[in-house]
Amino acid sequence: MDMTLSEAQRDLVALAARILGDAGDRGTSAAELWTLLGGAGLLGIAVPEELGGLGLGFTEVGLLLEEAGRAAAAVPLLDCTTATAVIRDLDTGERRDTLLTGLAAGQVVVGIALGEPAGDPLTPLVCAAGDHGQWTLHGTKLCAQSDPPATHLLVSAHVAGVGPRLLLLDADRFETGPGQVSFDGVPIGVDDVLGDLADPGAVPLAVHCARAAACSVMAGAMSRVVRLTAEYAASREQFGRPIGSFQAVGQRAADAFTAAWAIELTARQACWQLAARSAGPDLDAAVASAKYTAATAGAEVIRAAHHLHGGIGLDRDYPLHRYTTLAKKLELLLGGAAEQAVLLGDLLAAAAIRDAEPAVATGGE
């Protein structure tokens, strides 16, 4: 695959960087930034053009989220762009058009509730009990509060008699607390299921999109951390010289740069696979590789940054604190490094078995 950005993609990145960077410099509020992003058309990046969006794919979504990570923007871009892609591909009819039009205008904000306090997001523990198309929802999901607040919520749940499915709920049917949302007998019906009730692919698609989106935010954030560290090392003097001129400091910074670059490359590969609407082991491996790299390399970049900054890196008023907090959230979002390593191991083992089957069938060695 060719990761060279097209002219249109470079223009998109420049626009997003200008809006998000200026907002950070001026201390623009989250609500004002949301309005600016909507006015520039960036909230509708994956919304079809006939519904007021830019009609772009998940590759461009990833590029936008990189800039959001670079600015550590405190707006729900990750959730809304993920939700846009999922609703666009799964929903149908008037509800789809209304939601996508609202998302492009910034009037609809869709939160993502796929993670759980324990367990695999692909096998949700939140359950919908009942039958005959009438269920009640019970359990707790991890879900960050957002500004602007969510008007809708995408929730993964195990629906009795059906299996894991994706639900779309209005704001008046849920109440978010610190880091989570709880359901205690919320009534749901067939109309609340996103996509075909008989299709089990909705939850994997949503999880893949959310993981790739998180990796893109991590890529932008770690790129900014590396630059922040380089600027500090160039200005901080010790023994009459900038500390960046010392070999050990340069080596540590170079390792951090390489780690940040690995996050960017694997995140872009995962977004490209989603944009190509590929499915199966290749997509699973691309997303798992990106998530594993974001979790491990992100932690490496943060450790190097704090090491080279020294005490100032612990100052809550210094920018590094924001990126450290963001990186830890992204590292654990929808599964950390250990979970992705297990998944990659399973995929490699399955691939080895598939490759061996033809040889066994033909009697080869």
Mean pLDDT of the 228-253 span? 95
Task: Give the per-residue pLDDT at 358.
Answer: 66
Superfamily of the domain at 202-353 = Butyryl-CoA Dehydrogenase, subunit A, domain 3 (1.20.140.10)
Q: Rounded to 5 degrees, what angle do the CA atoms 340, 345, 346 make?
A: 100
Q: Stretch 237-265: mean pLDDT, rounded?
A: 96
CA distance 292 to 294: 6
* Alpha-carbon gap, residue 26 to 15, rounded angstroms: 17
Q: Which residues 6+ apart lie within 8 Å of 16 measured at CB?
A: 42, 63, 64, 67, 68
319: nearest Cα among 254, 231, 240, 257: 231
Give the tokens for residue 68: 């959001």
Q: Which of 110-114, 224-228, 250-254, 273-277 has the lowest mean pLDDT?
A: 273-277
CATH annotation of 112-192: 2.40.110.10
Domain ranges for the chain, please list them: 7-108, 112-192, 202-353
Using alpha carbons, select from 196, 220, 207, 338 the residue that is nearest to residue 283. Answer: 207
Tell me if the pTM is above 0.85.
yes
Neighbours of 344 (CB within 10 A): 16
Decide: 78 and 206 in contact? Cβ < 8 Å.
no
Give the pLDDT mean for 333-355. Answer: 90
Write down the pLDDT at residue 58: 96
Enumerate the β-bridge partners of residue 152: 110, 170
User: Which pLDDT value is given to residue 281?
Assistant: 83
CB atoms under 10 Å from CB of 235, counted, come to: 10
pLDDT score at 24: 80
Structure-model confidence comparison of residues 287 and 277, the more confident one: 287
Summarize the confidence of residues 162-175 as an average pLDDT.
Answer: 90
pLDDT at 360: 55
7-108: CATH topology: Butyryl-Coa Dehydrogenase, subunit A; domain 1 (1.10.540)
For the stretch 185-202, pLDDT in tens is 999 999 999 989 888 999
Cα separation, 132 vs 114, whole angstroms = 25
Identical fold between 7-108 and 202-353:
no
pLDDT tens digit sequence for 107-165: 999 999 999 887 789 999 999 999 888 999 999 999 888 889 999 999 999 999 999 99
State which amino acid sits at residue 32: E
3-state secondary structure of 177: strand
